[in-house]
Structure 1
Amino acid sequence: MSIISVEGECELARAEKVIVYRNDADGYIDTKEGHEKVDSLTVELAAGMCVLDGVSNENSVEVLRQWITIKTQVSATADHKEITEQLDAALKSGGKVDAQRICKKLKAAAVTDRFAAMELCMLAVSAFDTCTASQRQTLKQIGFFLSIDDDKFLAMSQKILPLGTHDEVDIEFVLGVNEKMTADEIRSLLNEEYRKWNGRVTHADATMQTQAGQMLDLIADVRAKFVEACV
């Protein structure tokens, strides 16, 4: 800053000050690179769910390829080639991915991104003829690693992997009931699930009606075994 003489336009005084300003917010490049990393990590994680007993399921792989295509069409930051290469690399490894490592990186992403990663993993499994015990266990681990809320995980699993898609009844996976719960806790959960599924018995979608009937039957069985038996 300078003070100038009116008459002679001479500089009478001058002062300088250096101000250091740091902006921690992501710029365009940072945001773009961040989204690309999240998309690649999501696909790498889900690729592990496309392989069962060392063999990749083409239907499951196609689910991921379609996801990549849609993602790159609606997002200016997604790179189709880069993400596809990530998928191919994961599949070449026989689906052997370090889920915990990937999830640790994804935990820094937005909640919606973590939900999207969990959802894609379930969609990959839904392309198989049946959902096996090992797949359910892996999905549970991924949900834990990503810090997905139990209620959110249950809602997603019931929607994407309904009861009829499993090789056996897993009440923890499809109902949220586990052995650590007390009879009162199980009763409360079952009452909540009953209200939800009873309201869907008359759903316009026949598939939803069938699922609702199956869930109500299961709820009755679990209630008889874990609640009424304790009275």
Structure 2
Amino acid sequence: MRKYHNTADQHQTEHPAWIFSSAIGIIGLAGLVIVSRHNFLLFHGLAELFSISVAWAVFFLVWNTRHVTDADSLVFVGIAYFFIGIVDLLHTLAYKGMGVFSSHWGANLPTQLWVLARYMESASLILFPLLFRKKIQPTLIFGCWAGATLLLLGTIFFWRVFPDCYIEGTGLTRFKIFSEYIICILLGIALMLLHIRKGMVDTVVFRLLALSIIMTICAELAFTFYVSVYGFSNLLGHFFKIISL
């Protein structure tokens, strides 16, 4: 009986926190809708900075607890999100209208950076369940991600061999559209692997990650339709991305 009352009390305590968090989230999304109707560039910056801050918060959390945790797979994905956040930050700064990079890059550069970040994210999420109950060397993994990120960015900024993703006046290239579908498939594989190995991870973590992956897939599908970087599909995709966090 005492156990029952403790459980009931715990649920009663959790409900207000859940309701409060949901209310804050709804208010935040409503605020972003209003901002997007008046200044899409500001909306995009806020949406991306939010996702970047979450990615880096995950990294700093797992990095500072790496010596006391047995969940090395979480350390791996946290490190991955640190570098994904860096690419997303470059994407944000390169967005059309920001004026940080030379105008000759146009809308192609931020779109290339977006695709690159999503490939990195999908790859890390596939590897995540494969690393359950395995030991890694965080410093080595950090170095590998750093080197890989520099090389991948080099294909865009220095060697310029990364395929075009957006052409002014035409819209998305075939490479960009196909990449979004490929990324969705990779995320689907990650979700399948996560489901197969869900017994190796905490139930709450599994549910949150599964929901996050599903929302990310929805975001990627939305990003296959837009013609303008300020269009509705682009807006919808960013909302899905925010929800996935």
Shorter-chain TM range is under 0.3
Select the structure that is richer in helix: 2
Quick one: higher RCO (CA 8 Å, sep 6+), 1 or 2?
2
> Over alpha carbons, which structure has the higher Rg?
1
TM-score normalized with structure 1 length = 0.26
TM-score normalized with structure 2 length = 0.24
